[in-house]
A and B are shown apart, each in its own frame.
Chain A
Amino acid sequence: MTTYLYEQDLVPQKYRILVAMRHDILVRKIALELNIPVQELRRYLIEHLDMIQLENLPARAEMAADHADQGDAVAQALGREKYTVYLQILSGAAMDAIFREVDARLQTGTPLDDAIAYGRIQIREALNI
């Protein structure tokens, strides 16, 4: 966010958007999936997305559930396109790096569940929460 001289503090207003019924369900779901505290995830979203993106989160998540990562089990489990292209909470480059690491682990014979768990930890670190 760029800082302006005559700016209002938008955090309370952004928070109000995030605690609406469907937004709350979605944020809790993501927090559970990535195993991070809900309030921390909210803070991250407030800092990194603008207000209209926050409003649009449920609709984008719905489209991601229908169309993202078709036909790739690992990408779907990690939410490769979901978090980068659809929800836009993580940059594509960071996600690609995580995906390469997970792929390398799978090649060396790590079980799928462990590799995905490792990938999620990496996502959490990339989010810096």
Chain B
Amino acid sequence: MKRIVDVNIPLGPIHPCFKEPVRLKCEAKGERITGAEVELGYMKKGIERIMKGRPWQEVMFLAERVCGICSVIHNMVFIEAMEQISDIVVPPRAAYLRVIANELDRMQSHILANFSYCYTIEHETLGMYLLDLREHVMDELERLTGARVTCAYMIPGGVRCDIQRKEAEALLVSLDRIEGDLRRYSGMFESGPMIALRSRGVGILTLEAAQRAHVVGPTARGSGIAYDCRQNHPTYQKLGFVPITRPDCDNFARVMVRFDEVFQSIDLIRKCLRELPKGVVRGGGVCKAGETRYSGEAPRGELTYFIKSDEFGRIVEIQIQTPSIMNIEACCHEMIIGSDSIADVTATFISADPCVACTER
């Protein structure tokens, strides 16, 4: 299918604003974008093909390395899917600790996404403030799980290690500090006139288009879709979780949803620590044969694992549907169409928080 276009501008695979390699071929009329084509294949490792035929003990670490930014949720969704197949019950204390690890991971991912956005619209000061704040969150994640990025904290029937009383106190103190700083930074973002000029009304994703493309996560909630997989998770239901939405549908809404969700995560962790039940953190269990579809809310949206295992706990069939697939698709075929300049293309692309490693696996 050949098309004649006015100007064709390829962006990437190496681009100063993109963290990962992806190639966007923008079709433009003058500087107005009329269409875009995405070329992937720079990160295709074939993780699902490696996973097939391997025991869960190995697949667990592979699942974590689908994405380095949101590794905790990949671990959590895979383990909870295996638990669902094998009817393993998680001790209540472990379930709460999982929420704490997951929310810390969400905080660092959201702060990183907002850093990338600020960096892309050339607001480096705010970007660096946020990146510094992220290091504090990473410290807390390291204190809880023992590693910064790939921590493999969750195992079938519980978590690897308990949280000590001193650690919990330090976490609370750190959360207070993070919340104070972040309130200042989100205020800076919300009230910055230049930021508003670059963000408000740019990269519109309407509710209908979002629904058609199955957009998930903060990108969907910035378009007014009140859907969050955490609503269906038993532990989050106990904590009284309510999703945050904004009706504006633009870049500004998406970034602000992420800021709001970090505050929400801080509240959830505080509530978890307050209500943390006593007891063991490792219940144990044996993985069995079965087939399931299990979804969890990753920082970028709904993450779904389709798993079929055999009686020794080996993975027979697996496919991972990551949130970035849907978000990047909607971003490249809906949001950036009609952008007034190429500079808005990168900003809009980053505002959807794309993760190419997730998309290609």
Segment of A45-53, A72-80, A104-112, A117-125 engaged in the interface with chain B: A45-53
**A-B interface contact total, Cβ < 8 Å:** 78
A67→B37 CA distance, assembly (Å)? 26
How many A residues touch the partner, as a band? Answer: 20 to 34
Point out the residues of chain A lying under 8 angstroms from B326, CB to CB: 56, 59
User: Would A63 and B214 count as touching, CB distance under 8 A?
Assistant: yes
Q: Do B3 and A56 touch across chains, with their CB atoms under 8 A apart?
A: no
> In whole angstroms, what is the CA distance A13 to B39 when docked?
10
Contacts A2-B5, A16-B44, A22-B319 given; indicate if A52 touches B38 (C-beta within 8 A).
Answer: yes
Residues of A84-115 contacting chain B, CB below 8 A: 85-86
Q: Mark contacts of B309-322 with chain A using CB atoms, 8 A cut-off: 1 yes-contact digit, 0 otherwise.
A: 00000000111010
Q: Is the CB of B321 within 8 A of A21?
A: no
Q: Is the CB of A53 within 8 A of B40?
A: no
Assess whether B10 is interfacial by the CB under 8 Å rule.
yes
Given known contacts A48-B1, A60-B213, A20 and B39 CB-to-CB distance under 8 angstroms: no
Indicate if the CB atoms of A51 and B40 lie closer than 8 Å: yes
B204 beta carbon closer than 8 Å to chain A: no
Within 8 A of B (CB), among A8-39: 8, 10, 13, 16, 20-22
Q: Which of B310-361 contact A (CB under 8 A)?
A: 317-319, 321, 325-326, 328-329, 332-333, 359-360
Q: B3 to chain A: which residues have CB within 8 Å?
A: 2
Give per-residue flags for B178-220: 1 if the beta carbon is below 8 A from chain A beta carbons, else 0.
0000000000000000000000000000000001111000000
Complex contact B10–A86 (CB within 8 A): no
- B1-31 contacts to A, CB under 8 A, are 1-3, 5, 8, 10, 25, 27
A22 lies within 8 A of B321 (CB): yes
Distance in angstroms between the alpha carbons of A61 and B329 in the assembled complex: 14
Q: Pick the contact of A1 from B1, B44, B319, B325 — CB < 8 Å?
A: B1
Assembly CA distance A79 to B153 (angstroms): 45
CB distance from B11 to the nearest CB of A (A): 13
Q: Are B39 and A50 in contact (CB under 8 A)?
A: yes
> Chain B, 95-127, contact with A by CB distance < 8 Å: what is the 0/1 string?
000000000000000000000000000000000
* Cα A58 to Cα B319 with chains together (Å): 11
User: Is B260 positioned at the interface, with any CB of A under 8 Å from its CB?
Assistant: no
User: Which residues on A sit within 8 Å (CB–CB) of B332?
Assistant: 52
Given contacts A52-B325, A56-B326, A59-B326, 5 further A-B pairs with CB under 8 A are A1-B37, A13-B40, A16-B44, A60-B213, A62-B214
A-B residue pairs, 4 tightest by C-beta: A13-B41, A59-B214, A52-B38, A56-B329
User: Could you list which residues of chain A lie within 8 angstroms of chain B, going by C-beta atoms?
Assistant: 1-4, 8, 10, 13, 16, 20-22, 47-48, 50-53, 55-56, 58-60, 62-63, 67, 85-86
